[in-house]
Amino acid sequence: PVGETITVASSRTATALPYTIGSVVADVEQPQHLTPQIWIHSPGFQEQSLLFKGVSFVSYAKLQEGQTTEYLSESIRQLYEQVDYHEAGVAISLEDWRAKKTSSWELVPLADIHFYGGGAWEFADMNDPVKVKAFLGIGIAILLLALFNFV
């Protein structure tokens, strides 16, 4: 019920925090990538977002023909170094910022996004490629068995 306070345990920490239910979202039956169990409002998010603290973004990029992921990664690194961190309210040097590894990116081919994701902040569970290949092998074995029985 809206207005009721519930306690939610974090999967990343041992802390359980109280949250007040503000709304209820209907289940969508169609297949989708966004399948959260709960959405939680973070009131301090706007202030923290300037520092990119605890923020995870998923973006898709199509490489132009002839370009490599190394080229894209280098382009991202160059953009990363152009950011003026002091204007964002960070009172440390770029070198110290880099040493703390507070920002990072990971390039994953589109064909692999359901197998290898961003980990803890993913919207959907990742699949295990070994299990998928095992089921594929079992399916082929069943088809071959059916084919031999038919002949």
- Residue 143 confidence (pLDDT) above 90: yes
d(CA 16, CA 88): 31
For 19, other C-beta atoms within 10 Å of its C-beta total 13
- Read off the pTM: 0.40
pLDDT digits (tens, 9 = 90+) for 14-71: 677 788 887 777 776 766 666 666 666 665 544 444 455 555 666 777 888 888 888 8
Rounded distance between C-alpha atoms, residue 62 and residue 116, angstroms: 18
Q: Indicate the average pLDDT of the chain.
A: 72
pLDDT value at position 49?
46
Q: What is the mean pLDDT of residues 76-83?
A: 74
pLDDT of residue 6: 84
Reduce the DSSP state of residue 19 to 3 states and report it: strand
